[in-house]
A = this chain, B = another copy of it.
Amino acid sequence: MSRMLSEHQLCFIISRVRMSFKATCLLLSVLSSVLGNVLDNRVDDFWSELCSLPPGLRREIQSYGPIVEKIIEKTTKDFKGETWRSLSEFVDKFGPRMSGSQSLEDSIDYMVDQMSKAGLDAYTEEATVPNWKRGFEAATIISPRKTNLPILGLGSSVGTVAEGIKGDVVVVETFDELEALPDSAVTGKIVVFAQKWESYGKTVKYRSSGSSVAAKKGAVAVLIRSVTPFSLGTLHTGDQDYEEGVNKIPAAAITVEDAMMLLRMFRRGEKIVIHICMDDKDLGLTKSRNTIGELKGRKKDSSVVVVSGHLDSWDVGVGAMDDGGGTFISWNAVKFLKAMGLQPRRTIRAILWTGEEQGYWGARSYQANHSRNEIEEFNFFIESDIGTFMP
C-alpha cells in the first residue's frame, strides 16, 4: 500500500536534488531504461522541470550518449531477465517480510551477502521499526443471514476482547454521512465504511483514520471496504493511525463485495449484527536494519547518489510488487554498473529500506542519522515504490 507513501517520499527526495548531474545522468539512464513506462505523472512533472537546463549542461549530458547507449545495450541484452529471476527467487525464498519478523531480518542478511558477492561495499545501519503482530482474525455476520465475513486487520489495530465484539451495524459511504447521524445512533455499534473508490489518495483516508472518526462518535469497531478499484473478493490490509486521546477500537478491512452487500442490507432497513474476533497485538518497537550497497565513485570529495526501494512488506503477500520490484531494479542498477566495470564520478548508494509499510521507519532512522551532513552527503535521492511490471 505504498502510492501515498512514495508521493510523500518523492517530495522528500526532490528537496534533496542539487543541479550537478554528471555521474547522476548515467545512473538515471540505466534506471529509466529499466523502469520503462512505470514513471507516473508526478515523475513526468518532476522530469520536465529537471529538463529546463542551461544549454552548456545539456551539451555535457549529451556527451555521455555513447556510454549511456552501452549501458542500455548491456542491461537489455546481457542482463535481460536477471532482475526478474533474482527477484522471483528472493520472494519465493523469504515470502512476507513484515517489520519485526525473522523473515525480514534473514532477507536483510541475504541481501548483504548478495551485494558483497556482486562486488559492492555492503553494510547495514540500525533502524527502529514497529512490531505489530497479526493474530487470529475472524468475523461472522449473525443477522440478517449467518455467514462468514472475511476480514483482515489493519496495521496497528488493537485486538478485541477474547470473546470478541458483537454489535449492531451502521453502514455509511462517507465521513459526512456518519457525522450527520446523532451520536446515539452510533454509540456501541460497529461502523462499516462502504466508501466509493475514487483514487488511492482520496479513498485511503477511510482506512487511515476511519477508526478515530468512528470512535469519536462512540463506535466499538470499524470495518473498512478494502481500498482498491477492483476486487475478486480481495482483502487489502494497510496502515492506520489512532488519533491522540481517542479510544482505540479494532479496525479491519472487508471485501468490496461484502461492503456493498452490507450497504444494500442497511439501506433496505435490515437489522445487521456482526461478531468480530481479533487477536492482533502491538509489541512496541524493535530493531531492524537498512541495507546498503555502494559503488564507490572516483571523485573522493563528492556527495553520493542514492537509489532505493524498501525490503519490508505486509505479512499477507510476498511483497513482489511492493516493493520487491523497486528494491531489485534499484540495487541491480548499481550491480550492473559494477559488472560492466564502470566507475562513476560520484558514489552510487543502493539503500533497501526497512520498516516502510508501517510509516517509513527505516527512512526516518536514516534521516535522523544522516541529517547532520545531509547537504554534504547527498547529491540525488530516489526511491522506486510506484509499482513495477513484467520485464
Interface of A with B (CB < 8 Å)?
88-89, 92-95, 144-145, 147, 230-234, 261, 264-265, 268, 317
Chain B nearest CB from A105 CB (Å) reads: 15
Residues of chain B contacted by A89 (CB below 8 angstroms): 264, 268
Query: In the complex, A265→B231 CA distance in Å?
Result: 28
Query: In the complex, A73→B88 CA distance in Å?
Result: 56
Instruction: Check if A145 sits within 8 Å of B92, measured CB to CB.
Output: yes
Considering the complex, give the chain B residue whose CB is closest to the CB of A233: B234
Query: In the complex, A327→B232 CA distance in Å?
Result: 22
Chain B nearest CB from A387 CB (Å) reads: 15
Instruction: Check if A261 sits within 8 Å of B231, measured CB to CB.
Output: no
Query: In the complex, A231→B233 CA distance in Å?
Result: 11
Chain B nearest CB from A227 CB (Å) reads: 14
Instruction: Check if A264 sits within 8 Å of B92, measured CB to CB.
Output: yes
Chain B nearest CB from A308 CB (Å) reads: 26
Give 6 pairs: A residue, B residue, CB < 8 Å, sorted on A: A88-B264, A92-B261, A93-B145, A95-B147, A230-B232, A233-B317
Query: In the complex, A330→B147 CA distance in Å?
Result: 28
Question: Most chain-B Cβ atoms within 10 A of its Cβ — which of A94, A231, A265?
Answer: A265
Chain B nearest CB from A252 CB (Å) reads: 18
Residues of chain B contacted by A88 (CB below 8 angstroms): 264
Residues of chain B contacted by A93 (CB below 8 angstroms): 144-145
Query: In the complex, A92→B259 CA distance in Å?
Result: 12
Instruction: Check if A92 sits within 8 Å of B265, measured CB to CB.
Output: yes
Query: In the complex, A147→B91 CA distance in Å?
Result: 13
Instruction: Check if A145 sits within 8 Å of B95, measured CB to CB.
Output: yes
Chain B nearest CB from A120 CB (Å) reads: 25
Residues of chain B contacted by A94 (CB below 8 angstroms): 145
Query: In the complex, A138→B265 CA distance in Å?
Result: 32
Query: In the complex, A93→B268 CA distance in Å?
Result: 12
Query: In the complex, A265→B93 CA distance in Å?
Result: 9
CB-contact partner of A234 in B92, B144, B232, B261, under 8 A:
B232
Residues of chain B contacted by A144 (CB below 8 angstroms): 92-93
Question: Most chain-B Cβ atoms within 10 A of its Cβ — which of A92, A144, A145, A147?
Answer: A92
